[in-house]
A and B are shown apart, each in its own frame.
Chain A
Amino acid sequence: MSGDDLLAALSLDSAPLLRAAGARGGDYAELFAEAHEVRYVVIDDGRIERVTAGSEIGIGVRVLRKDRVGYASGNVVTQAAATELAQAAATAARAASGTQDGPAQHIAASRAQPVEAATALSREPNGLRALRDIAQAAEAAARAAGKEITQVAVTAIEGLRTVAIAASDGRYVVDVQPAARVSVTATATRGERLHSRMQPLANRGFDAIDIASAERTGRLAAEAALLALRARRAPSGSMPVVLSSSAGGTFIHEALGHGLEADAVYSDASIYAGRIGDVVTSPLLSVVDDATIGQRGSYGCDDEGTPAERTVLVDGGVLRSYLFDLLHARAMGARSTGNGRRETYEDAPIPRMSNIFIVPGAGDPEAIVRDTHSGLFVTRMGGGEVDAASGDFVFDVSEGYVIRNGELAEPVRRATIAGNGPKVLMSIDRVGSDLGFDVGSCVKEGQSVPVSDAQPTLRVPVMVVGGSGAD
Chain B
Amino acid sequence: MSGAGGDGSSDAGARALGTLVDDPLDEALLERAGEELSRRGADNWEVFAAYGRSTAVAARSEGRIEASLSDGAGLGLRVLVGGRPGFAFAGSLSWAAVQAACGLCIESAQLMEVDEHVSFAERSLDDTRPLDVYHAELLQLSLEEQVEIARALAIDAARQAQVEALYLDNSVYFERLVTSAGARFSARSTTQTYEACMLAGAGGDRGRGHSYGISSRALDLAALTREASQQANAMVDAGPVASGRYDVVLAPAIVEDLLSDLCYALSGYEALAGRTMFAELVGERVGSDLIDLVDDPLDPRLGFARYDHEGTPHQKVALISGGVLQTLLYDRSTASRAGVANTAHAERGSYESPPTPGVSALRLAPGDRSVDELLAEMGDGLHLVDTTDVEIDASSGELSAGASGFVVRHGQRAEPLDGIVLSASIVDLLCSVRAVGSDLRYSGFATPSLLVEGLEVAGT
Contacts and interface: CB of A to CB of B under 8 A. Distances in A.
- A joins B in a complex: yes
A269 B200 CA distance: 11
Contacts of A311: none
B90 A51 contact: no
A464 B64 contact: no
A87 interface: yes
A172 interface: yes
A405 interface: no
A420 B419 contact: yes
A237 B419 CA distance: 12
B61 A268 contact: yes
B10 interface: yes
Contacts of A53: 88, 104, 107-108
B204 A48 contact: no
Interface in B352-405: 352, 354, 388-389, 391, 393-402
Interface stretch (A65-73, A358-366, A448-456): A65-73
A98 B151 contact: yes
A71 B391 contact: no
A54 B90 contact: yes
B69 interface: yes
Contact of B204 (A86, A91, A390): A390
Interface stretch (A55-63, A117-125, A137-145): A55-63
A49 B135 CA distance: 39
B8 A390 contact: no
A128 B3 CA distance: 38
Interface in B35-92: 57, 60-74, 86-92
A69 B418 contact: no
Contacts of A346: 70, 72
Interface stretch (A7-15, A282-290, A296-304): A7-15
B111 A51 contact: yes
A166 interface: yes
Given A54-B89, A98-B151, A416 B67 contact: no
A395 interface: yes
Interface string B96-127: 01001100100111011101000000000000
Given A31-B1, A98-B63, A466 B421 contact: yes
A268 B162 CA distance: 10
B267 to A, nearest CB: 12
Interface stretch (A191-199, A210-218, A318-326): A191-199
A151 B456 contact: no
- Best-buried of B15, B112, B274, B395 by chain A (most CB within 10 Å): B395
B69 A71 contact: yes
A329 to B, nearest CB: 16
Contacts of B284: none
A333 interface: no
Contacts, number: 331
A13 B104 contact: no
A20 interface: yes
Contact of A128 (B94, B108, B275, B394): B108
Interface in A428-454: none
A172 B2 CA distance: 9
A20 B7 contact: yes
Contact of B5 (A16, A67, A71, A129): A16
B208 to A, nearest CB: 6
Contacts of B73: 75
B21 interface: no
A200 interface: no
Interface stretch (A176-184, A240-248, A367-375, A378-386): A378-386
18 contacts: A12-B1, A13-B2, A36-B91, A41-B111, A53-B88, A55-B89, A76-B71, A77-B92, A88-B15, A96-B147, A269-B164, A389-B199, A390-B204, A390-B418, A391-B204, A466-B400, A466-B456, A466-B458
Given A52-B354, A110-B2, 6 more contacts: A16-B6, A75-B73, A88-B12, A414-B396, A469-B423, A470-B428
Q: Which 5 A/B pairs are nearest by Cβ-Cβ distance?
A: A91-B13, A56-B91, A466-B421, A466-B458, A394-B402
Interface of B: 1-8, 10-15, 57, 60-74, 86-94, 97, 100-101, 104, 107-109, 111-113, 115, 143-144, 147-148, 151, 162, 164-165, 199, 203-206, 208, 240, 243, 272-277, 280, 352, 354, 388-389, 391, 393-402, 418-425, 428, 456-460
Interface of A: 7, 10, 12-17, 19-20, 23, 31, 33, 36, 41, 44-45, 47-48, 50-58, 67-77, 79-80, 83-93, 95-98, 110, 112, 114, 128-129, 132, 150-151, 153, 164, 166, 172, 185, 187, 189, 192-196, 236-238, 267-269, 271, 346, 348, 382-385, 387, 389-392, 394-396, 414-420, 422, 464-470
